[in-house]
Structures are given as structure tokens and as C-alpha cells.
């Protein structure tokens, strides 16, 4: 009796792509693959993309770093990273297939090491059928960015048989001059449309939802202007201190760490004009136009602070000057509050107030759009004394969602108006787990979609906005605020002089 040959188990990672997935064969190269970012974010994100069927059918990952590992030890390293940091648990059957996509090459960031890497990439192309298409991810300290890019150009890794893209983590320079110097180095090896400057804030679902909220709903865009909006507040608050990053933070401070990138990117999405199409260039054109219309930050419209000791969530917190590796005379700001002005027809006269800081009362990132009061209220004064202005709050983290604040009559025999909230919560509305920002951004880099990545003109304009303030802040001392508060008293005065006050998240 003839025996039937046993069929091999199907590869679960070749089950077909879902809508929105990548289809072009690609090798994903991680420089600094043994580092913290690779472990916490990149490898878990790539695994989750594989689980969701969003990676190309022909795909491979090669990690490159100085650490002494081979393929098998790198796969063990990757599994430990995914088990610890992935938002989904590891599936043993899926992992067997996924692990075969992972490769590793040890070497230095120099031409000799990159020539060996080039030979490995050719072998991977032949084994996985990836056609010479490459995405290079620079998961290293910023000081290595020019070194890696120059060595790639010298060894022609920037010119593979297929398409090449390079993903660069922030910071994109330390100021305008260094940002331009970095751009000059990168542009010698890669064209602008090959460069993907990543800001993980733009990968957050709730940040992307600003697009949908503004431009898919006819009821909001007509009132999104200086005729109806009194002012806008953008808050990026952290309850943690500098932790083990004091040396890094001393070089950056709150403006370089948060404002120049994350906060100004969110600001531009909130205030930009509608793009002609939901494509990379039209959207980035409008963001760049908005930033060009934004006036540079000034000393008289900004407040800097540095956290002192206090209590956060009931636990005692040390002052910034008492943190390990912080100089006792440091004037590095850990908090900023500022008034931004936009010189265009839509927003002229409408201030945007921003604040960001460490060791604040809670962790929160939100945009609050406060509307002007009605021109006439036909109610008795005592009926509306507790009525607050209408406000629309876009919560980016945590508790992602949107809240609309408006007035309604209280259920009492007498006429009394009270402020109520209508809430939309992202998780409960869609009954789905929100993907990590790096999943979205890595997938877009593989697909060649630059919509959520920062273009060089926006990078330079962001530095032009903050550089004058940074120069003025070289001298002087920040105001100390207690850990666990919402910042220094001068931040409240910044708004009170305009007859406004900060919203309490």
C-alpha cells in the first residue's frame, strides 16, 4: 500500500497580507541591535507586525552591533525581548517561523565591518528572496549617526540592487547649525525621500486621530479658527524624573527633549491647514507652512522651571539637583510654559499655550481647545455662575480619547446650568488593543510611506522657533517648583496676565 508523504506544516507568517500591510520584499537592518531601543521597542514591534500578517511575505531582519552574538544567540535575545516587552504573548508555533527571519552580524561601525555586512546582506537576499530592498534603522546614540551614514556611503550600502531607506531616531541635531550639519552628511549618501526621521509621538493612534477628527467631520472644521476658538493649551506632563538619564538630560533639557520635536509636531497637526490629499508630501507641506507662520519663542512669553523635592503619587521625590550625576549648580530646565503665536489668517490673535515638564502631578499628554463664550447669555446670572466655556480635549495619553465640555440644564425645579462632559474612549469604542507607535512607524518605513515622518524643512524651522529662547536661557536660573505640582507659579501668571488659567487635566 502506497504511503502518502506527510505535508509540512504551513508557515503561519505566509498566510497572506491584511489590508494596509507591506508587500515589497525587504531586509530590515538594525544598527545597534543589542541596545535598549531594539530590545524594548523594535523587536517586539516587528514581531507584532508579523503576528498581524502585515509584513511582506519575503522579509528578513539582520541585527548589527558590536556585541558578540551569532544567529542563534540573537534569536534567544529577541525572544526574551518579545516575551518581556511585547503587547501580545509569544505564540510558540508563530515564533518558530518568525525566528527564521532573524539574523545577526557582529562588527564595528566602520568601512571594514560594513563590507562584511554587505556580504551578509547579499546572502540574505539570496536566501529570503528580498531583492536587494533595504530599510536601515539607526538604533544608536546620535553621535553615531554621521559615522554610520558615511561608512554606508563609502561601502555603497546606500546603493543596493533595490530600494534603500534610512530611519533616523531623534534628536535631529542639537540646534539649527548641528541639524543642518547632520542633514549635509546624510544627504551625501541618501536623497531626502529616502530619509525617515522618526518621532514616535506621530505613531500614536490618538495623534493620528487628530487628522481624522479634524478633516473627516464637517461639524468641527468650520469652528477651528480664531473666530470661535479663544485659545489652545497643549500639555505634555511626566510624573517621573530624569531617572538614570541625567547625563543625557543635562545636554538636552526640556526644550530639546520634548518641545522641539514631540510638542511642535502635535502643535502643527492641531493648527495646520487641510491638506489637498492624505499623502506624505501634501501633509508635510501644510505642517511646514504652519511652522513657518509660527513666531519664534521669546523670553517674555516663556517660563522655565526645575523640579525641587516633593511628593508624587504619595511617594517622596528628590530634587533635580539631588539626582545622581547632576551638577549642583545646574540650570537645566525640567519644565517650560510658553505662549506661541501663529501669524496667519486662521489663527491670528489666538494664543497657543504649551507646557511640558518632569515630576508633575500626573502623566498626561493632551490638547485642550477652549472656545469663546457665547456673545449673549439670556439667563439669570445665578443660573450660569458655574458654567464654564466650551472645550474640546484630545487626550493622547493615558486614557486615550476625546472629551467635549458643554453646558446643560441641571435636573432641578429651578433654572441652573452646569458643565457636563461627553466622552469618547478609544479602547472601549473600538474594543481593540491600540498598537504600539513603533509598529505603525516601522510598517510605514517598510511600505515607503513618509506621512508620519519629519521632513528636513520642518526640522530646521522647529529649531528656528526654539533656538532664540535656548540662547537667552544660557544664563540665569530656573524657578524651582515642588515635585508633584503643575509647575512654577510664574506659569500661572503667564496665563493670568491674559485673563486665562491652565486647565487641570
Catalytic residues: 262
Instruction: Specify which residues 442 forms β-bridges with.
Output: none
What is the β-pairing status of strands 417-425 and 401-409?
Answer: antiparallel
As to burial, measured by CB atoms within 10 angstroms (0-12 exposed, 13-18 middle, 19+ buried), residue 423 is middle
Torsion sign over Cα 102, 117, 58, 452: positive
3-state secondary structure of 237: strand
Place of cell 532573524: 102
Instruction: Please say whether the beta carbons of 360 and 237 come within 8 A.
Output: yes
3-state secondary structure of 59: strand
Count of helix runs (H) and strand runs (E) in the chain:
15, 16
Instruction: Please say whether the beta carbons of 152 and 115 come within 8 A.
Output: no
Instruction: Specify which residues 391 forms β-bridges with.
Output: 370, 405
Dihedral of the alpha carbons of 334, 339, 343, 346, in degrees to the nearest 10: 110
Give the chain's largest Cα–Cα span.
97
Amino acid at each position: 500500500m502506497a504511503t502518502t508523504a506527510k505535508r509540512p506544516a504551513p508557515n503561519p507568517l505566509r498566510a497572506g497580507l491584511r489590508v494596509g500591510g507591506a508587500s515589497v520584499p525587504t531586509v530590515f537592518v538594525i544598527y545597534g541591535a543589542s541596545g535598549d531601543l531594539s530590545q524594548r521597542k523594535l523587536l517586539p514591534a516587528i514581531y507584532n507586525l508579523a503576528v498581524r500578517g502585515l509584513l511582506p511575505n519575503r522579509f528578513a531582519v539582520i541585527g548589527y552591533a558590536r556585541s558578540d552574538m551569532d544567529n542563534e544567540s540573537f534569536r534567544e535575545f529577541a525572544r526574551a525581548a518579545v516575551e518581556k516587552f511585547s503587547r501580545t504573548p509569544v505564540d510558540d508555533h508563530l515564533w518558530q517561523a518568525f525566528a527564521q527571519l532573524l539574523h545577526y552580524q557582529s562588527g564595528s561601525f566602520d568601512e571594514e565591518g560594513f563590507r562584511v555586512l554587505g556580504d551578509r546582506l547579499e546572502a540574505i537576499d539570496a536566501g529570503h528572496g528580498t531583492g536587494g530592498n533595504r530599510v536601515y534603522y539607526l538604533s544608536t546614540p546620535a553621535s553615531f549617526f554621521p559615522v554610520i551614514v558615511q561608512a554606508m556611503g563609502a561601502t555603497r550600502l546606500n546603493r543596493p540592487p533595490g530600494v534603500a531607506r534610512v530611519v533616523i531616531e531623534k534628536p535631529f541635531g542639537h540646534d539649527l547649525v548641528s541639524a543642518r550639519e547632520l542633514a549635509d552628511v546624510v544627504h551625501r549618501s541618501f536623497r531626502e525621500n529616502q530619509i525617515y526621521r522618526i518621532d514616535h509621538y506621530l505613531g500614536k493612534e490618538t495623534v493620528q486621530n487628530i487628522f481624522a477628527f479634524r478633516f473627516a467631520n464637517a461639524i468641527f472644521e468650520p469652528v477651528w479658527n480664531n473666530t470661535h476658538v479663544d485659545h489652545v493649551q497643549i500639555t505634555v506632563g511626566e510624573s517621573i524624573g530624569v531617572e538614570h538619564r541625567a547625563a543625557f538630560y543635562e545636554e538636552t533639557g526640556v526644550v530639546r527633549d520634548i518641545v522641539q520635536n514631540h510638542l511642535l509636531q502635535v502643535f502643527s497637526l492641531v493648527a495646520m491647514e487641510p491638506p489637498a490629499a492624505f499623502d506624505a508630501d501634501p501633509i508635510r507641506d501644510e505642517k511646514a507652512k504652519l511652522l513657518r507662520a509660527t513666531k519664534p519663542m521669546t523670553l517674555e512669553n516663556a517660563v522655565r522651571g526645575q523640579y525641587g523635592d516633593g511628593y508624587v503619587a504619595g511617594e517622596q521625590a528628590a530634587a533635580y539637583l539631588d539626582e545622581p550625576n547632576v551638577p549642583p549648580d545646574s540650570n537645566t530646565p525640567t519644565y517650560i510654559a510658553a505662549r506661541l503665536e501663529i501669524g496667519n489668517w486662521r489663527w491670528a490673535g489666538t494664543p497657543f499655550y504649551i507646557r511640558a515638564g518632569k515630576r508633575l502631578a500626573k502623566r498626561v499628554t493632551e490638547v485642550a481647545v477652549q472656545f469663546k463664550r457665547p456673545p449673549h447669555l439670556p439667563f439669570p446670572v445665578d443660573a450660569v455662575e458655574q458654567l464654564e466655556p466650551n472645550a474640546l480635549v484630545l487626550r493622547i495619553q493615558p486614557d486615550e480619547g476625546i472629551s467635549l465640555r458643554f453646558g446643560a440644564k441641571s435636573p432641578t425645579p429651578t433654572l441652573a446650568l452646569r458643565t457636563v462632559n461627553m466622552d469618547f474612549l478609544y479602547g472601549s469604542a473600538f474594543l481593540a488593543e491600540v498598537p504600539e507607535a513603533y509598529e505603525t512607524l516601522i510598517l510605514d518605513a517598510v511600505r515607503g510611506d513618509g506621512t508620519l515622518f519629519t521632513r528636513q524643512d520642518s526640522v530646521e524651522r522647529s529649531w528656528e522657533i526654539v533656538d532664540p529662547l535656548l540662547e537667552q536661557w544660557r544664563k540665569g536660573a530656573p524657578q524651582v517648583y515642588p515635585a508633584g505640582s503643575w509647575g512654577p507659579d510664574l506659569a500661572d501668571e503667564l496665563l493670568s496676565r491674559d485673563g486665562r488659567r491652565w486647565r487641570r487635566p
